[in-house]
Chain A
């Protein structure tokens, strides 16, 4: 089930292109996904994430480039890949008049080997709804069923396309736990999302996509640190301290007063905080709600594309 980590990558994409009429949906994409990792494609709607994933799944032909998934050349032999992967489409499409159990049983019949229905229902916490027709399921239950269907064949690699779009925060968190559970079980997961928080919580590595291209790739920390070397030290504003005084503190690059909060951008948090505390001590002050904050993916995306990533 688990593919050896450190060996050849589970997914290898080079120079992938795809065009729909006048629209270049994917414009030369390269990335690798290692066994056992959760890899994310992050980007706004229309960035080319879904097209990329569907080419990897063997659902769409590529115009150009090489795509190897689990050692299979997808452009040549997608059928050899299908028994070994699990997918969940962006829209959880299910037979509306069949029950949860019936849909799982149906999908099990498509595979030579499959996990027992009862086990899948228990794992995905669908026990209470197992005899309900899928049309009456809630959004979160529907997504869990879609993931159950992706796991029917006990796949080595799972594709999840926008697994939490449209879910409420509780349902989203429950699905995150599920995805982290897949990783713990040694599976490789490729997911797409346009939620920063989701990418930060789930992805070992991620690629930021826009207009069919990968703009930046790496771990969340790498992506953030590459652009934002400074961290922000924040505390509730103290009118007694002048901006000039704060700017003179060691390692501080800039100072920003934002409403009731002071932000010190620093390249080295330790000396800055030490000096800040010494300064306030001397003046008989106490910084309230002192915290260290780093830049987020949202800041990275803003920096890369000049626009915010919101849905």
Chain B
């Protein structure tokens, strides 16, 4: 059998038989997702907050306002249109309803049977927050159902519009972030078994065989990429199945960033393995890298809520860009940086770290 394949399989067997490693890569991110998912899902039970833009200011529009307010415990915030859109971007309101000029006249005409077309109201939602958009259309449907009771054809129809908002619901933001975090762990944790193998002289023993170094590195990379992909599938599946996360982007783009990210963090792991003499040292260095990365990359706290100094750090660390890119391609999250910048930063880390490791790594 080909040495590269055989060594990759041997690595995977060793990995799967190591319960602790399995726990940290597979169970740990899931525990996080379920924990945060359930905590933050609980808060969303109340009514909707809707931006209300009334260009008509007629008795009919006032009637409609009453109908929306009466439904459940919806809160209507009356705003000028530009302000309403801005507030929706910021997540202040869940959706915006615009009553156009001439609404009242159209209703009057419709009731009289002389209308050429039904009156319409504009309903602006964010499709990436599918659960919220669904609730909005449910409410709109309920209200218009009452209004339209008398007339056939309908008096009022909704005119759907969509905009991208900054604020994803928490779990949609969190799932890609957790994916980024897991990919980081798969990558930098590669240092530890590698250093252990060196310490136990396994690398030295391998060096005495005709096995090539590229085969050794290649098998390590292959195995880690495989783990990253398995992890990605599990995390995305849990997000979709249990928390209704909607993957709006392409799966291929998600996979591409998982691979690019895993490679960049693998290279960082090899840098750790180059400087850590012992397994304990590698553990320590990995933690030192992992924890700031975890907390400063926008995984748990949005970057723009951090002090300037920490924002500066966030702008440099690769996890920021990996998670940002994953949020963009998975759930159409707002961009911290354009996708090509994310890719370029990750590629930059990959090249620099790989170069350092190539020079500094010791096999024995």
Contact = CB atoms under 8 A, between A and B. Distances in A.
Interface string A57-88: 11100000000000000000001001101010
B3 interface: yes
Interface string B1-45: 111011100100110011000000000000000000000000000
Contacts of A57: 208
A106 B202 CA distance: 13
Interface in A78-118: 79, 82-83, 85, 87, 89, 91, 93-98, 102, 105-107, 109-112
B209 interface: yes
Interface in B192-208: 200-202, 204-208
Given A106-B6, A106-B7, A79 B210 contact: yes
Interface majority SS on A: helix, strand, loop or mixed?
loop
Contact of B3 (A87, A93, A110): A110
B211 interface: yes
B13 A102 contact: yes
B161 interface: no
Residues of A in contact with B, size category: 20 to 34
B201 to A, nearest CB: 4
B248 interface: no
Residues of B in contact with A, size category: 20 to 34
Given A89-B201, A109-B2, A109-B3, A82 B208 contact: yes
B364 interface: yes
A91 B201 CA distance: 8
B162 to A, nearest CB: 52
A172 B18 CA distance: 32
B200 A59 contact: no
A109 B6 contact: yes
A56 to B, nearest CB: 11
Contacts of B208: 57-59, 82, 85, 87, 89
16 contacts: A82-B208, A82-B209, A87-B205, A89-B205, A91-B200, A95-B202, A96-B200, A97-B17, A98-B10, A98-B14, A105-B1, A109-B1, A109-B2, A110-B209, A110-B210, A110-B211
Given A106-B6, A109-B1, A109-B3, A94 B209 contact: no
A93 B205 contact: yes
A134 to B, nearest CB: 11
Given A79-B210, A83-B210, A97-B17, A106 B10 contact: yes
Nearest to A106: B10
Contacts of B2: 109
Given A91-B201, A109-B5, A109-B6, 13 more contacts: A59-B207, A82-B209, A85-B208, A87-B205, A97-B14, A97-B18, A106-B6, A106-B10, A109-B2, A110-B6, A110-B211, A111-B209, A112-B210
A57 B106 CA distance: 93
B78 to A, nearest CB: 66
B211 to A, nearest CB: 5
B10 A102 contact: yes
B193 to A, nearest CB: 10
A95 B11 CA distance: 9
The 4 tightest CB contacts between A and B, nearest first, are: A109-B6, A93-B201, A97-B17, A110-B209
A207 B29 CA distance: 59
Contact of A109 (B7, B13, B201): B7
Contacts of B14: 95-98
A105 B364 CA distance: 24
Interface in A136-183: 149
A213 to B, nearest CB: 24
Nearest to B11: A95
Contact of B13 (A83, A85, A98, A110): A98
Contacts of B13: 97-98, 102
A57 B2 CA distance: 24
A111 to B, nearest CB: 6
A93 B18 CA distance: 18
Contacts of B6: 105-106, 109-110
A116 to B, nearest CB: 14
A110 B212 CA distance: 9
Interface in B324-364: 364
Contacts of B17: 97, 133
Contact of B204 (A89, A98, A107): A89
A57 B211 CA distance: 14
Contacts of A79: 210
A93 B210 contact: no
Contacts of B3: 109-110
Contacts of B209: 82, 107, 110-111
B5 to A, nearest CB: 8
A96 B18 CA distance: 10
A133 B209 CA distance: 22
